[in-house]
A and B are shown apart, each in its own frame.
Chain A
Amino acid sequence: MDTQQDTRKTFVVPIGPQHPALKEPGHFEITVDGEIVTAATVRLGYVHRGIEKGVEGQNWAQAMYMLERICGICSHVHATAYALGVEALAGVQVPPRAQAIRVLVAELERVHSHLLWLGVAAHEGGFDTLFMYSWRDRELIMDVLEGLTGNRVNYSCNVLGGVKFDVDQKQADAIRSAIDFLEPRTHHYMKVVTTDETLIGRTRHVGTLNGAEAERLGAVGPVARASGVPRDIRVDAPYAGYPTFPVNTVTATAGDLEAKFIVRLEELFESYRVIREILEHLPPGDLSVRVKPRVPAGETVSRVEAPRGELLYYLRSAGGPTPDRVKVRTPSLCNWGTVLATAAGHKLADVPMLIAGIDPCFSCNDRLVTITRRGASDTWTWARLRQYGIEYYR
């Protein structure tokens, strides 16, 4: 009898913080009964940089550049959410051309983010060919973004009150030709993820989350939409240029990993359409208006749709030259609950796919700013870091 009891004992498999499945650190404790997962917990914070605290010491303009560095994939949405909030507090009207360019960059960013995710998810599923093709194609968007903004990652497109650069004919043509190439490629990827037997084996009926559960767990973005919950801030509360250039919500009903592939790929087509439309009908006018260095006292909530879902910023001004409080709630944090809830009952081998399914961004839900070198105990101040940056690029 004792032996029988022993075989029924559960076992905790610790995964991470450093692990081969993802390129970012996170720690999971997966409780298994044999091969089957019975419970899962997550420990975050390995890339917590204290950015919310850090911005309290910066002026309103500087804070944006720090916030933009919360995420290396969706940097633009962070700056946009913050800029929209500050502009609301300051009571300024941003010119329509600037708002359209913000949306243009946001949609280009979504394209690169979804293609990046497609590669990561395919890689977790053991389909490295798809990973390499999708990342090759993603390079086109990276080149376009670099041509447009000068940067591949932190585009630094926003200023408080508008955007920094205009889109000229040559750049518009470069974007169009990249989109013209990517559209048939995306059709091809759609065919692959819905017909390839090996990939379907890893995705269909795996990690199924029904609509009611998705709502209960507070899922956002493509994770919610793949379960038929139409949550999309671009549609629910259009911001920046979205009132002029509306998008359609893409949903699926299955709620499994396959549905998450389908929703994200369908969203690419929607992004291509909006990008073309903006290039076609870019409103004329100025690129920015002046925002005074002191922002009137008040508080506001600013929400945008990041590639991973709803991104919420809470801003509070005490009327001074620096923010009193900036709170960032990133979509990955909302979606963790869905992984922890759906993991139970699956095989341990499905866990990496389930984690990848929400397109988690650890840097987003973690956030710090001191560089401490242990041993030498060398702490860099913000001023020193800034000076280092200036010297480095001189």
Chain B
Amino acid sequence: MSAEKRIIDAETLLKPYAVGACSRTPVGVEAVIKREDLPAAVKALVDGRWGYLSAITGLDHPWPKAAKPAQKPGEAPVEPTGPTEDRLEALYQFVSGPVVATLRVSVAYHDATVPTICSVIPSATLYERELQEMFGIVVEGTPETRRLLLPDDWPEHVYPLRKAFKGLP
């Protein structure tokens, strides 16, 4: 099967759930998914026998440092165009042959939860636990919530892969 066919298949499967259109990336295709649609979108890929879940990647987008537009001297301040709050993002990376299909789910710091996809892909639990420990994105309904990677005496609510984390005191 050609890479192009795989991309088109992924676009067709993800279209009902994508916010806006699916966009092409150098390695495949990506779609922004609302978190409540995530299990259904994952199920669409799995039922459509489109590749397999290869990784769940967490990202931290703190605001305002990253999104604040630069103000040029003598000009009015530029209104920010991007998100104006601290956000976290989870990328669900599916692969099929050479193509990577990424589902992007974005959540705010103060409401950092995503639903589990373990009902569709049971083996995702290890990835979800990693996401939970490293970024503090609570994965609701994941079957196991004990520590997977961090030490037992690691403090609660300290998430080492967030940008604000600079080491334990």
B123–A217 touching, CB < 8 Å: yes
Residue B78 CB within 8 A of the other chain? no
Q: Which residues of A, 197-239, contact B by the 8 Å Cβ criterion? A: 215-218, 236-237
What is the distance, in angstroms, from A289's C-beta to the closest C-beta of chain B? Answer: 19
What mask results when residues 22 to 52 of chain A are scored 1 for a CB within 8 Å of chain B, else 0?
A: 0000000000000000000101110010101
**Contact of B107 with A by CB under 8 A:** no
Cα-based distance from A29 to B147 in the complex (angstroms): 14
> Is A273 interfacial (CB 8 A cutoff)?
no
Cβ of A312 < 8 Å from any Cβ of B?
yes
Q: Does A142 count as interface, using CB distance less than 8 angstroms?
A: no
Q: Bound state CA distance, A337 and B98, in angstroms?
A: 24
Q: Which residues of B contact A318 (CB under 8 A)?
A: 66
Judged by a CB distance under 8 angstroms, whether B55 is at the interface is yes
B54: CB under 8 A from chain A?
yes
What is the bound-complex CA distance between A52 and B98, given in angstroms? 25
Partner of A236, one of B59, B98, B122, B127: B98
Write the B12-27 contact mask toward A (1 if CB under 8 angstroms, else 0): 0000000000000111
Provide the main secondary structure of the chain A interface.
Answer: mixed
Chain B contacts with A in 29-63, Cβ cutoff 8 A: 52-55, 57-60
Q: Report the interface size class on chain B.
A: 35 or more
List the B side residues contacting A236 at CB < 8 Å. 97-98
The distance from the CB of A240 to the nearest CB of chain B, in whole angstroms, is: 14
Shortest CB-to-CB span from A28 to chain B, Å, is 13
Stretch at the interface among A123-131, A171-179, A245-253, A325-333: A325-333
Cβ–Cβ contact B98 & A237, under 8 A: yes
The answer, among A43, A216, A217, A333, for a CB contact under 8 Å with B147, is A43
Cβ–Cβ < 8 Å partners of A237 in chain B: 97-98
Contacts A43-B146, A312-B95, A329-B55 given; 9 further ones with Cβ under 8 A?
A: A45-B147, A52-B161, A216-B121, A216-B123, A299-B25, A301-B102, A325-B57, A333-B127, A379-B167
Contact with B along A355-394 (1 / 0, CB 8 A): 0000000000010001000000001000000000000000
Q: How far is the CB of B5 from chain A (nearest CB, A)?
A: 14
Among B60, B93, B123, B124, the most chain A Cβ lie within 10 Å of the Cβ of B123
In the complex, what residues of A have CB within 8 A of residue B57's CB? 314, 325, 327, 329
Given known A312-B54, A312-B93, A327-B57, contact A48–B165 (CB-CB < 8 A): no
In the complex with contacts A301-B100, A336-B126, A329-B54 CB distance below 8 A: yes
A53 and B165 in contact, given A236-B98, A301-B93, A310-B54 (Cβ under 8 angstroms):
yes
Tell me if B55 and A50 are in contact (CB < 8 A).
no
The CA-CA distance from A316 to B98 in the complex, in Å, is 19
The chain B residue sitting closest to A327, CB to CB, is B57
Taking the closest CB of chain A, its distance from the CB of B127, in whole angstroms, is: 8
CA distance A217 to B127 in the complex (A): 12
Decide if B149 touches A366 in the complex (CB within 8 Å): yes
Contact B93 A314 (CB under 8 A): yes
Q: Is the CB of A41 within 8 A of B126?
A: no
Instruction: Determine if B103 is an interface residue (Cβ-Cβ < 8 Å).
Output: no
Contact (Cβ within 8 A) B91 A300: no
Q: Are A218 and B52 in contact (CB under 8 A)?
A: yes
Query: What are some 11 contacts across the A-B interface (CB < 8 A)?
Result: A43-B146, A45-B150, A50-B160, A217-B123, A218-B53, A310-B95, A314-B57, A327-B57, A329-B55, A329-B57, A333-B127
Enumerate chain A residues within 8 angstroms of B27, measured Cβ to Cβ. Answer: 300-301
Cα of A333 to Cα of B161 in the assembled complex, Å: 18
Q: Tell me, rounded to whole Å, the shortest Cβ–Cβ distance linking A312 to chain B.
A: 5
Q: Which 7 A-B pairs have the closest CB atoms?
A: A237-B98, A337-B123, A45-B149, A329-B55, A327-B57, A217-B123, A314-B57
